[in-house]
Structure 1
Amino acid sequence: MLVLPKGVRHLPGYFDRTQQEALVEEIRSVVAAAPLYVPEMPKTGKPMSVRMTNCGTLGWVTDKARGYRYQPLHPATGEPWPAIPASLMALWETVSGAEKAPEACLINFYGETAKMGLHQDRDEADLSCPVVSVSLGDDCLFRIGGTERGGRTVSLRLMSGDVLVFGGESRLAFHGVDRIYPGTSTLLKNTGRINLTLRRVTV
């Protein structure tokens, strides 16, 4: 039996197929206003393997010159990010246990070969609220560990409609995506995975 780190909750199949389809349409509307772009690693400028955008009052971005940060405007269009869909706000209210509302929803699109190295979500000023993550589309192999790099990790397969919440002792847990399993879902028109992460940024 898989034992997740304390503070991590996996809610498999939280969204049913109809809800997933509605959520994908909402994300399409977000992307129409705030197009996906390829972020760059700080200092090196190496492109990441995912494409991303955001919705909410703040959006997480990264580039060679200024590194990881939150800002109110899309880096390519200069326009404010679209609002977080009501369905995601309702999810936050139901599962986060937080009194404060999320300010950012990072939207990552993973193609067939995309990955995400182990990292911490630590660019937020308020670490009292958890990160709430939604998986849509193809399955992925997700890995999460402790708050120290190089520590023990566990892996689980996230499927379309799954929700993952990590907070408390695991708010700064290292986590990443080791691989995508192409063709495991028919939700998206083509293969790929959408990951949504809701976050509170300011105190």
Structure 2
Amino acid sequence: MSALIPRPRLEVAPGAVHVPGWLTPQQQRDLVTACRAWAVGPVPIRYTRLPNGGVMSVRTVCVGWHWLPYRYSRTADDVNGARVAEFPRWMVELGRRALAEAYGNESAEWAAADYTPDTALINFYDGAAKLGMHQDKDEKSSAPVVSLSIGDTCVFRVGNTATRTRPYTDIELASGDLFVFGGPSRYLYHGVPRVHEGTGDPATGLRSGRLNITMRVTGLHDAS
């Protein structure tokens, strides 16, 4: 039914753009295949332990740089000490195409051709997983974040840059959707309060759950 109802492109806030259905079915299948390979190593997918002792309900695997709360490292010192997989060139090109789709080839702040993401956090959500309101602020670069969704639809909460609380807007991110946030919205609070189980298409290669791939520019050159 949802495929019969157009979902319009939406600028949720200045610099925060939702493009429904941007990934083709084949691109989604290719990304699922790549994520499955990364999930088994060199650093396997894991539940991230937070400094306060809590454990995130999403499972995460990284490429390019390994994310530990709240910093990046070339090696996964909280898992197995191995160096994470290299960030592939084809993902750089995908990120540039995504930025061009969201902002145009030449926006006021970013030229898509110059966008060079060097890390991706890949989060897997089962039906019980959630992600609280947070900012992506561990990077030393203010370049936009490119977010891709595959699998089950989620409720994505788009907040403001000042507080975890209201005002915020809830939208749905479905399989193949692109969401980019940069410029005035680069440090907006955002989260995932709910995943709608069983709404994905098994033709993507993902039988259940949701994959979210966020590409970022760390601004780092050496391990830290």
Q: 2:208 aligns with which of 172, 187, 191?
A: 191
- Distance in 1, matches of 2:160 and 2:188, equals 5
- Distance in 2, matches of 1:155 and 1:101, equals 29
Q: 1:41 aligns with which of 50, 61, 68?
A: 50
Amino acid at match of 1:6: P
| Unmatched runs of 5 consecutive residues or more in structure 1 | 63-67
Per-residue deviation at 1:202?
1.2
Decide whether the 8 Å contact of 1:23 with 1:87 is kept in 2: no
**Secondary structure of the structure 2 residue equivalent to 1:125:** coil
Q: Percent sequence identity over matched residues?
A: 37
Q: 1:174 aligns with which of 181, 186, 189?
A: 189
Q: 1:12 aligns with which of 9, 12, 20?
A: 20
Per-residue deviation at 1:85?
3.8
Decide whether the 8 Å contact of 1:5 with 1:145 is kept in 2: no
Decide whether the 8 Å contact of 1:26 with 1:85 is kept in 2: no
Decide whether the 8 Å contact of 1:50 with 1:109 is kept in 2: yes
Amino acid at match of 1:137: G
Per-residue deviation at 1:169?
0.3
Per-residue deviation at 1:188?
4.3
Question: With structure 1 as the length reference, what TM-score do the two structures score?
Answer: 0.90
Decide whether the 8 Å contact of 2:14 with 2:184 is kept in 1: yes
Q: 2:75 aligns with which of 67, 73, 78?
A: 73
Q: 2:92 aligns with which of 80, 89, 94?
A: 89
Q: Does 1:22 align with 2:30?
A: yes
Decide whether the 8 Å contact of 1:41 with 1:48 is kept in 2: yes
Per-residue deviation at 1:190?
3.4
Q: 2:145 aligns with which of 131, 135, 157?
A: 131
Query: Partner residue of 1:65?
Result: none
| Unmatched runs of 5 consecutive residues or more in structure 2 | 1-7, 100-110
Per-residue deviation at 1:95?
2.8
**Secondary structure of the structure 1 residue equivalent to 2:219:** coil
CA deviation vs aligned residue, 1:141-193 (integer Å, no higher than 9, x gap): 00111101123111111011111000000000000001001110123443210
- Distance in 2, matches of 1:105 and 1:72, equals 13
**Secondary structure of the structure 1 residue equivalent to 2:35:** helix
Q: Does 1:61 align with 2:68?
A: yes
Amino acid at match of 2:62: N
Q: Does 1:142 align with 2:156?
A: yes
Decide whether the 8 Å contact of 1:60 with 1:104 is kept in 2: no
Per-residue deviation at 1:135?
0.4
Query: Partner residue of 1:165?
Result: 180
CA deviation vs aligned residue, 1:88-137 (integer Å, no higher than 9, x gap): 2212112334524112100111111100011001111111x100001011
Question: With structure 2 as the length reference, what TM-score do the two structures score?
Answer: 0.82
- The total of aligned residue pairs comes to 195
